[in-house]
Amino acid sequence: MAEGGGLTRFLGGSPLAVAVKLVLLSILIGVVLSALGLDPRDIFQSLRRFIQNIWDMGFDAIRWLWQYFLLGAVLVIPIWFIIRLINAPKGR
């Protein structure tokens, strides 16, 4: 329980709940950044080629969701991690 408790404490909740929140927040931020004209494909060029091959098979809904997720995650995940590190318990 100590390991699970430490992980849950570090993440700020259960791993699944935190993951779901981060995914939803990343999609939301991705929509906003997309409206500003930003594009995650410049950041993840090699990953984009791989995903493009999958998208060409007809997964338009996945493409739409994935694009917004990547765009938002570029900011959300690092900021969340930095905040968690700053607010981590000291000592012990």
- Please state, in angstroms and as integers, the Cα–Cα distance from residue 5 to each residue in 12, 15, 16, 22, following that order: 10, 11, 14, 20
- Whether the pTM exceeds 0.85: the reply is no
Long-range pairs for 10-18 at CB < 8 Å and ≥24 separation? 10/84, 10/88, 11/84, 12/84
- Please state, in angstroms and as integers, the Cα–Cα distance from residue 45 to each residue in 18, 48, 81, following that order: 27, 5, 24
Q: Measure CA of the first residue to CA of the last residue in the chain; give whole Å.
A: 17
Three-state DSSP state, 42: helix
Question: Taking the domains of the chain in order of start, what are their residue ranges?
Answer: 2-86
The per-residue pLDDT for range 21-39, each reduced to its tens digit, is 999 999 998 887 777 666 6
Count Cα neighbours of 2 within 13 Å in the Cβ-side half-sphere: 1
The per-residue pLDDT for range 50-88, each reduced to its tens digit, is 567 666 766 677 778 888 899 999 999 999 999 999 988
